[in-house]
Amino acid sequence: MYNVNKVRADFPILSREVYGKPLVYLDNGATTQKPRQVVEAMVDEYYNVNANVHRGVHFLSQQATDLHEASREVVRAFIHARSTNEIIFTRGTTESINLLAFSLGEAMVKEGDEVVVSAMEHHSNIVPWQMMCERKGALLRVIPMTDEGELQLDALEELLTERTRIVCCTQVSNVLGTVNPVKEIVRMAHDKGIPVLVDGAQSVPHMQVDMQDLDCDFFAFSGHKVYGPTGVGVLYGKEAWLEKLPPYQGGGEMIKNVTFQKTTYNALPYKFEAGTPDYVATHALAKALNYVNDLGMENIEAHERELTLYALEQLQRIEGMRIIGRARQHDAVISFLVGDIHHLDMGTLLDRLGIAVRTGHHCAEPLMRRLGIEGTVRASFSLYNTKEEVDVLVDGIERIRKMF
Ligand code: 7TS
């Protein structure tokens, strides 16, 4: 049995108060809280192991390198990649996508080519592609979506042409909670020989992701959204693809030999990892993934599904409640507006009640424009949230609604 109170005891921050009220943390889509196991691993490494990786013959450097590389294996197993050569450590989803947009752009995008993104992407899966398109004279094309917040795959079929260089799509929308049929999208793109990047920032914390099953060519996620530290993330890429792409940044680690005339590059994955990596963060990320493994992703999914369904049911009872995003496949993210109460007012007043939600455009301005709204209030749930917290949220919204 999943014991949420036992889980909560691993997260010291959850027992603090804000404005004299117990904290109700429902901003997990932005970042998750960290269990002791993760924070203690970082403290322990800085106190007892710290040394730069991959370059020292001395004991500490060997030990830090071993922890760092063991973490790569934990990540590989977690997403079921074939090889650790396919696991590139980055600073997060954003850097992963910038890396790919740059390297893929250099390798294979020419004037008149096209990049396909979806209507519900986070800015970090739009802007890097747009920047690359501007450099290369290429065009950004968009998979449209329905009013319910589901992508229109029949329209995607039309968008995939001999000019398409890559399709980039989020697995779970950070605003609508839509779970996109990325496996189907991958199949459609592969039928035409086009690679696919899946943005896993909002899926990795909530569901089993399996690179062999999805068969996507690239996959990006952030450590801090899956109970790990900030400043570390992953770009997965199929080895054959990564071999074809040029490095993103130059510096230490990514080279084999350097002369003033010419530099040769290191093998995978180091070719894409210039400079000292955040080896303390990679080690702590592995601790976070192990934490999730120990709880069992299927248990986490079941807990979050029950919580989300309960929240949807309770929220819908509120007069004037408008849930934004009614996809059939829905993850632990609920966006809403109530009557004509501005999302910022709602967020600010909920905060005074100790409830942390996110408000605004959620770094998805094109999606807001598509929906014809400026922003939403967003509650996003995680493995440590409870039905009691949902009740506090619902009561809070009711109080605020009556005030207006
Ligand atoms: N992609 C998606 C789908 C996201 O939700 C986010 C962050 C990112 C990419 C970028 O991740 P980063 O770790 O590199 O910043 N989303 C949010 C959010 O919804 N609220 O704050 C950050």
Task: Give the per-residue pLDDT at 55.
Answer: 79
Q: Where are the domains of the chain?
A: 4-26+296-403, 40-293
Determine the Cα–Cα distance for residues 307 and 207; give it in Å rounded to an integer.
15
Mean predicted confidence (pLDDT) in 128-146 = 98
Predicted confidence (pLDDT) at residue 356 exceeds the cutoff of 90: yes
CA of 196 to the centre of ligand 1 (A): 19
Name the residue of 26, 118, 122 whose CB sits within 8 Å of the most ligand 1 atoms, as the mutation to test its pocket.
122
Determine the Cα–Cα distance for residues 253 and 274; give it in Å rounded to an integer.
5
Residue 16 identity: R
Using one digit for the tens of pLDDT, what is the confidence trace for 286-338?
999 999 999 999 999 999 999 999 999 999 999 999 999 999 999 999 999 99
**How would residue 215 be classed by pLDDT, with cut points 50, 70 and 90?**
very high
Buried b (16+ CB within 10 A) or exposed e, 62-85: ebbbebbeebbebbbebbebeebb
Task: Give the per-residue pLDDT at 5.
Answer: 97
- Residues β-bridged to residue 396: none
Look at the alpha carbons of 157, 158, 163, 165 in this order and tell me if their dihedral is positive or negative.
Answer: negative
Determine the Cα–Cα distance for residues 109 and 36; give it in Å rounded to an integer.
45
Q: Quick check: bond before 269 cis, omega within 30?
A: yes
Per-residue DSSP letters for 257-296?
EE-SS-EEEPPTTGGG--S---HHHHHHHHHHHHHHHHH-
Contacts of 161 (CB under 8 A, 6+ apart): 114, 192
**How would residue 232 be classed by pLDDT, with cut points 50, 70 and 90?**
very high
Q: Number of H helices and number of E strands within the chain?
A: 14, 17
Task: Give the per-residue pLDDT at 115.
Answer: 98
Closest-lying ligand 1 atom to the alpha carbon of residue 172: 3
Provide the terminal-to-terminal Cα distance of the chain, rounded to the nearest Å.
Answer: 42
- Residue 348 CB coordination number (10 Å): 12
Question: If you search the block for the tokens 């197993």, which residue do you land on?
Answer: 77
What tokens were used for 195? 């690679």
Q: Whose CA is nearest to atom 20 of ligand 1?
A: 30
Give the SS3 label for residue 216. Answer: coil
Question: If you search the block for the tokens 């977690």, which residue do you land on?
Answer: 78
Using one digit for the tens of pLDDT, what is the confidence trace for 20-35?
999 999 999 999 999 9
> Kind and range of the H or E element at 182?
helix 182-191
Mean predicted confidence (pLDDT) in 94-103 = 98
Task: Give the per-residue pLDDT at 366.
Answer: 98
Determine the Cα–Cα distance for residues 47 and 42; give it in Å rounded to an integer.
9
Determine the Cα–Cα distance for residues 20 and 227; give it in Å rounded to an integer.
26
What is the second-level CATH architecture of the domain 4-26+296-403? Alpha-Beta Complex (3.90)
Name the residue of 25, 89, 129, 174 whose CB sits within 8 Å of the most ligand 1 atoms, as the mutation to test its pocket.
174
**Using a 6 Å CB cutoff, which residues line ligand 1?**
29-30, 92-94, 122, 124-125, 170, 174, 199, 201-202, 222, 358, 362-363
Task: Give the per-residue pLDDT at 300.
Answer: 98
> Kind and range of the H or E element at 309?
helix 297-315
Determine the Cα–Cα distance for residues 282 and 233; give it in Å rounded to an integer.
8
Predicted confidence (pLDDT) at residue 56 exceeds the cutoff of 90: no
Would residue 168 show up in a list of annotated catalytic residues for this protein?
no
- As a whole number, the mean pLDDT across the chain is 98
Closest-lying ligand 1 atom to the alpha carbon of residue 94: 14
Mean predicted confidence (pLDDT) in 80-101 = 98
Give the SS3 label for residue 151. Answer: strand
**How would residue 41 be classed by pLDDT, with cut points 50, 70 and 90?**
very high
**Would you identify the CATH topology of the domain 40-293?**
Aspartate Aminotransferase; domain 2 (3.40.640)
Using one digit for the tens of pLDDT, what is the confidence trace for 144-190?
999 999 999 999 999 999 999 999 999 999 999 999 999 999 999 99
Name which of 291, 294, 295, 316 is nearest 304 in CA terms.
295
Q: Whose CA is nearest to atom 16 of ligand 1?
A: 30
Mean predicted confidence (pLDDT) in 331-355 = 98
Closest-lying ligand 1 atom to the alpha carbon of residue 175: 19
Give the SS3 label for residue 106. Answer: helix
